[in-house]
Each structure stands twice: as structure tokens, then as C-alpha cells.
């Protein structure tokens, strides 16, 4: 079990109670490698329940009384510079905390039992990463580094929620900033800004005041950028502007929600990006998947042998805390495994297929015949090699 937090020595009546509780939670979260902290108001029962996510698993971390003068949620909102007297609207913000000036994103949501707050910690180390630190294979890294030196085109990182695509996009931008001599003009448009990048000019969408993606992109293109980071391609308008910028001599780094590289390509076509823009503008398309790594220390003790385990059994087995292990606190998971499939260059048969409005499945088939190793194949390989538990491949519908 991971060590539960204790707050018994703090007095809820004290004026600094909420501040001390929040400090303690944040510090413990950093020590335990927590990615998200959930604070839920417990309504009439009073108090706040605390859960947190470690290596992809959400764990209960206790419940505690709320402060009498300042509530715990209000303290978090103050740190994130949110409007503390509004409980009835969702709010989003960012905060810097601790001696190392770590960053976190804070989101609130009004719920039936009171306000809920989720704090996403941005690991200092991951937001300082270069592409080499992501855990990508060498051939993809070489392709990525090469494309990031180019003057124009789109470098697109696709993936589902939680696949680490933003971390990869930041690492790409960092590589650009590191390589650039003389300095290239680097501008970003994000919602929200997840980490500060020295040397880049970052702008954040603010829907509340009417500053949306399309306004932002129009303004950004007038800022004489050479390299732009567009947080996410989410609709036809953003897609059109990204490719237009790429065709007129800018390097654009962006992310997109998709299950596979072929799915991303299909979605771009569905967003009315003309095939010839894709052929000349899409420099690199990756789709990633972030798996929960198996703890190397205890994995052999808690993995059922493959001969005896039906899938249900394995699923249960691997999610149960099994043995006492100091490396993973008995969860069986440690670290992450990043997988990525890279779309082969858009030429030859793949290019011809683009014009024939093919579905994602046939695009994937051609990409595979050209040597693309799919996320599903890579997931199965990782499970066979023991880098992840078998339930990670079950999660993606693989046997
Ligand atoms: Zn372990």
C-alpha cells in the first residue's frame, strides 16, 4: 500500500489549516510521483475526500475535515488565482508551488455535493524533456529531429487522451529552441498553457472573453512566426489554418485526438484538408500510446502464468495489490512505456489512396504493407516482453 497521508496534527479551526493541508498534499504528491490529485467535497457529510493517480492508477489517499475559516478547495483556487467566491461555474488555472517552482493545472467543477477540484501536476522533468528523453525508438527520433529542422510543414502528434502527446509536442518545440541559431521566431497558441518554454512566446485561449482558436490563429499568423505550436487541431477551421500556415513557410507543431496514425489521416480528410495539402504539408505524423509499465521488481511474483490465466483472471490479478514491493508500493506498476507508430512518407500507393477517400482501415493496411509497425503490434510485443502487464493489451482490445 502507498503510505496514507495524515492530517491529525493539524487543527481545522486554525486559520492556516487549509494552507498547511494543501502544502502537505502537494509535497506528498511530488514525493509519490502523483500525476493528478482529486479533491471532492463530501456534501452534508462534510470534509473532503482525496484521491490521486500514480502511474495511471487512481488510488484513495484518505479523507479529511475541511477548514473552518478557509476551505481546502478555496485555498487551491487562491493558489491558482481563480475567483474564490464563484462556486457555480467551472474554472481553470495554473499554479506554481514548492521550492522547485513546480507547475500544476487546476480545474474546478460545480457538483451536486459541492465543488470538485482536480490538480494535474506537470512533472518538472517531463516538461524539460527533449525528444531523446521520451523513450521513442531511434528511427522515429531521427525522423523527428530531421523534420524539426525544416522551414515549413506540419509535425503532428496524434493519440488518445492521456497518451502523452502534449509532452511530445513540447519536447519537439524544445528541440527547435535548442537547435535554433540564429534564433527562430517561436509562437504558441495553447488551451491552457501547460508549461513555460524559455525563448517561446506563448498565448492562451480564453473563451470567457471571446478569445477563441480561430481568433488566436489569425492573430498568431500576423506575428511573423517561423515556428508555431498549435495546442490541438480540433476542427476543420483549425486544420485549414494549420495547413495554410505550413504551406506558406512555417513549421507547425500540433497534436490531435486519434486512435491511430491512419485514423488521424482520415480525420484530417474529414475536416476537409485537401489531399494535396497533406501530401506537401504533412512532414511527420506520429500516433502514440502511453502504457502503464510493469514493475520489474515484483512482476514475476504477481503475474499469473499465461497457461492458467483467462483474460478476466489476469485483469483482476494485475490490478490487485499482490506482494509487498517497495519499488511500486504493491501496485504492480512502475513507470510508463511510450509506444508510437509513424506514418510512412505520403508517396506512392499511400498518396494515391489519399485521393480515393479511403477509410482508416485501408489506409492502415497500406501503411503496414509499407513497413509501419502499428500500436497494437507494439503493445503486444511490450506485453510479451514483460514490459507491461497483459491487462494493458486487453485494455486496447487485444488478446
Ligand atoms: Zn513492484
Supply the range of the domain harboring residue 189. Answer: 126-395
* Strand stretches in the chain, DSSP E: 34-41, 48-54, 57-64, 91-97, 102-111, 114-122, 153-159, 186-190, 201-204, 227-230, 251-257, 282-294, 333-342
Same domain, 64 and 208: no
Distance (Å) from CA 328 to ligand 1 centroid: 4
Q: pLDDT tens across 380-393, in order?
A: 999 999 999 998 88
**Of residues 72 and 103, which shows the higher confidence score?**
72
Distance (Å) from CA 180 to ligand 1 centroid: 42
**Does residue 4 lie in a domain region?**
no
Instruction: Tell me what pLDDT residue 309 has.
Output: 40
Distance (Å) from CA 298 to ligand 1 centroid: 4
**Of residues 324 and 378, which shows the higher confidence score?**
378
- Given a cut of 60, whether residue 220 has pLDDT beyond it is yes
Average pLDDT over residues 359-386: 95
Distance (Å) from CA 305 to ligand 1 centroid: 17
Same domain, 100 and 153: no
**Does residue 95 lie in a domain region?**
yes
Same domain, 148 and 96: no
**Does residue 6 lie in a domain region?**
no
- The CATH number for 245's domain is 3.40.50.300
**Does residue 305 lie in a domain region?**
yes
Distance (Å) from CA 84 to ligand 1 centroid: 41
Residue 135 CB neighbours (<10 A)? 17
**Does residue 152 lie in a domain region?**
yes
Domain boundary among 73, 103, 122: 122
Task: Name the most confidently modeled range: 175-189, 201-215, 232-246.
Answer: 232-246
Average pLDDT over residues 336-349: 94
Distance (Å) from CA 308 to ligand 1 centroid: 22
Which range has the worst mean pLDDT, 152-156, 196-200, 254-258, 291-295? 196-200
Q: What total number of domains does the chain contain?
A: 2
Residue 73, strand partner residues: none
On average, the pLDDT of the chain sits at: 87
Average pLDDT over residues 205-221: 87
Q: pLDDT tens across 75-123, in order?
A: 999 999 999 899 899 999 888 888 777 889 999 999 888 899 999 998 7
Domain boundary among 53, 87, 122: 122
Distance (Å) from CA 162 to ligand 1 centroid: 23
Same domain, 221 and 274: yes
**Does residue 5 lie in a domain region?**
no
- The CATH number for 90's domain is 3.30.450.90
Cα–Cα distance, 297 to 16 (Å, whole number)? 41
Distance (Å) from CA 304 to ligand 1 centroid: 15
Distance (Å) from CA 217 to ligand 1 centroid: 46
Confidence label for 357 from pLDDT (cuts 50, 70 and 90): confident
**Of residues 264 and 322, which shows the higher confidence score?**
264
Same domain, 58 and 196: no
Distance (Å) from CA 332 to ligand 1 centroid: 5
Average pLDDT over residues 188-205: 87
Same domain, 87 and 148: no
Instruction: Tell me what pLDDT residue 153 has.
Output: 97
Comparing CA positions, the residue from 329, 336, 334 lying closest to residue 61 is 329
Domain boundary among 122, 157, 173: 122
Amino acid at each position: 500500500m502507498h503510505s496514507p497521508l495524515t492530517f491529525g496534527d493539524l487543527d481545522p479551526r486554525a486559520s492556516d489549516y487549509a494552507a498547511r493541508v494543501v502544502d502537505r498534499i502537494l509535497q506528498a504528491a511530488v514525493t509519490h510521483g502523483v500525476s493528478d490529485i482529486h479533491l471532492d467535497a463530501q456534501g452534508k457529510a462534510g470534509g473532503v475526500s482525496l484521491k490521486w493517480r500514480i502511474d495511471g492508477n487512481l488510488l484513495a489517499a484518505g479523507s479529511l475535515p475541511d477548514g473552518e475559516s478557509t476551505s481546502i478547495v478555496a485555498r487551491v483556487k487562491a493558489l491558482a488565482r481563480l475567483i474564490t467566491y464563484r462556486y457555480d461555474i467551472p474554472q481553470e488555472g495554473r499554479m506554481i508551488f514548492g521550492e522547485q517552482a513546480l507547475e500544476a493545472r487546476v480545474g474546478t467543477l460545480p457538483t451536486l455535493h459541492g465543488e470538485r477540484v482536480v490538480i494535474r501536476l506537470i512533472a518538472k522533468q517531463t516538461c524539460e524533456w527533449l525528444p531523446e528523453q521520451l523513450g521513442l525508438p531511434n528511427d522515429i527520433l531521427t525522423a523527428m529531429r530531421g523534420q524539426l529542422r525544416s522551414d515549413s510543414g506540419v509535425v503532428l502528434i496524434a493519440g488518445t487522451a492521456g497518451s502523452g502527446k502534449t509532452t511530445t509536442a513540447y519536447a519537439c518545440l524544445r528541440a527547435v529552441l535548442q537547435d535554433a541559431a540564429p534564433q527562430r521566431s517561436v509562437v504558441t497558441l495553447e488551451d491552457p498553457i501547460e508549461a513555460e518554454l524559455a525563448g517561446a512566446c506563448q498565448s492562451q485561449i480564453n473563451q470567457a472573453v471571446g478569445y477563441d482558436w480561430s481568433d488566436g490563429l489569425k492573430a498568431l499568423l500576423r506575428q511573423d512566426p517561423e515556428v508555431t505550436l498549435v495546442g490541438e487541431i480540433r476542427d476543420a477551421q483549425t486544420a485549414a489554418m494549420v495547413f495554410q500556415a505550413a504551406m506558406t513557410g512555417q513549421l507547425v507543431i500540433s497534436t490531435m485526438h486519434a486512435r491511430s496514425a491512419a485514423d488521424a489521416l482520415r480525420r484530417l480528410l474529414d475536416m476537409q484538408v485537401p489531399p494535396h495539402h497533406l501530401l506537401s504539408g504533412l512532414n511527420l505524423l506520429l500516433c502514440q500510446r502511453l502504457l502503464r509499465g510493469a514493475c520489474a521488481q515484483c512482476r514475476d511474483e504477481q503475474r499469473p502464468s499465461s497457461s492458467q490465466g483467462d483474460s478476466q483472471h489476469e485483469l483482476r490479478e494485475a490490478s490487485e495489490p499482490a506482494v509487498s514491493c517497495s519499488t511500486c508500493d504493491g501496485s504492480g506498476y512502475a513507470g510508463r512505456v511510450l509506444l508510437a507508430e509513424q506514418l510512412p512518407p505520403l508517396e506512392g500507393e499511400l498518396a494515391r489512396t489519399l485521393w480515393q477517400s479511403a477509410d482508416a482501415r485501408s489506409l492502415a493496411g497500406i501503411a503496414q504493407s509499407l513497413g509501419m509497425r502499428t500500436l497494437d503490434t507494439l503493445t503486444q510485443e511490450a506485453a510479451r516482453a514483460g514490459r507491461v502487464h497483459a491487462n494493458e493489451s486487453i485494455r486496447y482490445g487485444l488478446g
